[in-house]
Amino acid sequence: MILAADIGNTNITLGIYENDKPVCISRLATQRHRTSEQYAIELNAILNLEKLDKKITGAIISSVVPELTRIFKNAIEKVTDCDALVVAAGVKNGLKIITDNPKELGADLVCGAVGAISQYPLPCLVMDLGTATKISVIDEGGLFAGCTIAPGIGISLDALSMRTSQLPAIELSAPEHAIGTNTIECIRSGTVLGNAAMLDGMADRLEAELGKPIKTLVATGGLAKEIVACCKKDIIYNKDLVLEGLLTIYKKNR
């Protein structure tokens, strides 16, 4: 069994795969002050709960939190005795990147693109709605052409409640109407429907700039499901896309 770990700014998503099929998907909170021993305890608890503690034979990590990469790699080794592969420059991923500085591309974007290329028709837009909202452009030849980055939905909501005196923090859900008639519904309209409209609009702009019809729109990330459901375009929701990309990269290197 292979353990794939995606270390994001908000959550660490864990996927355990056997014969390319997910056996367990779990999440830990990203906490930068924690030690490898603390993460090892949590990881060991998850594996014991799923009765998988003695079955992990390999591991791979994608991280956008550099200060946690080594810590979590050590935690995996403590629990599984596996030397986890870390997605970075020099690791074979099969992705051709034609941006100005390919080395600065985040590991999460690399893995999402690899996951999309392995299973969807191209050209493709990969929409990752996490701490930041990112849209990656993959052309018909499988080249990573570039991306867009915007403040994530959670960040925007936190800023709204912290920087205003009368607007409350709310639970993210779609409103019944675009025209809000109370404060909470107004915020939900602007946040959920506004971000859905952004995805629809950015897809049109990116397609026009690429000069080719986009064949696949795929969305992932912790906040994607609610937003995609309100989009006018046909967007595939794949919550495990980055983990699937990690698994593909692991197989290329092992």
Summarize pLDDT for 147-187 with one digit per residue, the tens. Answer: 999 999 888 888 887 777 666 667 778 888 999 999 889 88
Cα separation of 27 and 15, whole Å? 9
Same fold flag, 2-86 and 96-246: yes
Please confirm, yes or no, whether 83 is among the known catalytic residues. Answer: no
Residues of the chain with pLDDT under 70: 53, 165-169
- Among the listed residues 53, 81, 108, 128, the single catalytic one is 108
45: helix, strand or coil: helix
CA distances (Å), origin 38, targets 48, 52, 241: 16, 19, 27
Residue 11, H or E segment: strand 11-18
| The CATH number fitting domain 2-86, selected from 2.40.160.40, 3.10.250.10, 3.30.360.10, 3.30.420.40 | 3.30.420.40
Residue 169 is predicted with a pLDDT of: 66
Cα separation of 88 and 143, whole Å? 18
Residue 171 is predicted with a pLDDT of: 73
Residue 173 is predicted with a pLDDT of: 82
In CATH terms, the fold of domain 96-246 is: Nucleotidyltransferase; domain 5 (3.30.420)
Residue 206, H or E segment: helix 194-210
Residue 156 is predicted with a pLDDT of: 84
At 80-93, the pLDDT tens digits run 999 999 999 889 99
CA torsion sign for 152, 153, 154, 157 is positive
Cα separation of 94 and 143, whole Å? 10
Residue 168 is predicted with a pLDDT of: 66
Degrees (nearest 5) of the Cα angle 131, 135, 141? 140
Q: Name the residue with tokens 């950015």.
A: 202
Q: Where are the domains of the chain?
A: 2-86, 96-246
Contact between 109 and 134 under an 8 Å Cβ cutoff? The reply is yes
